[in-house]
Amino acid sequence: MRIQNQQLEWLVQFCLKFEMNAKGSRQRSKFIRILQDKIEEYRKHRQELIELYATKDAHGEPLIVVDNGERCYDVKDKNGYMKEFIELQLEYNYINMTKENILMLKVVGDAYLNHEDMFLGIESDFYHYICIEFEEFFDKQVKEISK
């Protein structure tokens, strides 16, 4: 299963909405721990981009400025930074189909695909994309059983 960096935090928050029994809750917790590890890795890479592109203060720390009333890093090459940042956002993370993960993905995928909330905008895109990933996972499982 693959998930883009930009979808990780949304997916964690979404999964926390599921009502599950004890077994389902354990599997959801395992799934969320995997996602949180991937979020930490993403944040590390995002910080590396800031370190690379941000102007530094006298102590060598990224300089924070106020731009249009918002605090942000002082980045001189904004186009270069944004190109790298978008690339980072769109990078995929993979959850391997190991024996340990198959039960987890079945339980979480079933809850996810049977969730009935409505979404708009980017949430709708994220929801749709993750549905496709879980559907592909279930299709692979059916093919494995059929062999």
Q: What is the DSSP string of 37-93?
A: HHHHHHHHHHHHHHHHHBPB-TTSSBPEEEETTEEEE-BS-HHHHHHHHHHHHH-EE
CA–CA separation, 26 and 20 (whole Å): 9
Q: What is the pTM of this model?
A: 0.85
Residue 92's H or E segment, with its range, is strand 92-94
Place of tokens 């995929």: 92
In the prediction, which pLDDT does 114 show? 84
pLDDT exceeds cutoff 70 at 147: no
pLDDT at 138: 85
> Does residue 145 carry a pLDDT above 80?
no
**Sign of the alpha-carbon dihedral angle for 140, 137, 87, 57:** negative
Q: What is the pLDDT of residues 80-113, one digit of tens each?
A: 999 999 999 999 999 988 888 999 999 999 988 8
- In this prediction, residue 146 has a pLDDT band, given cuts at 50, 70 and 90, of low
Q: What is the pLDDT of residue 83?
A: 97
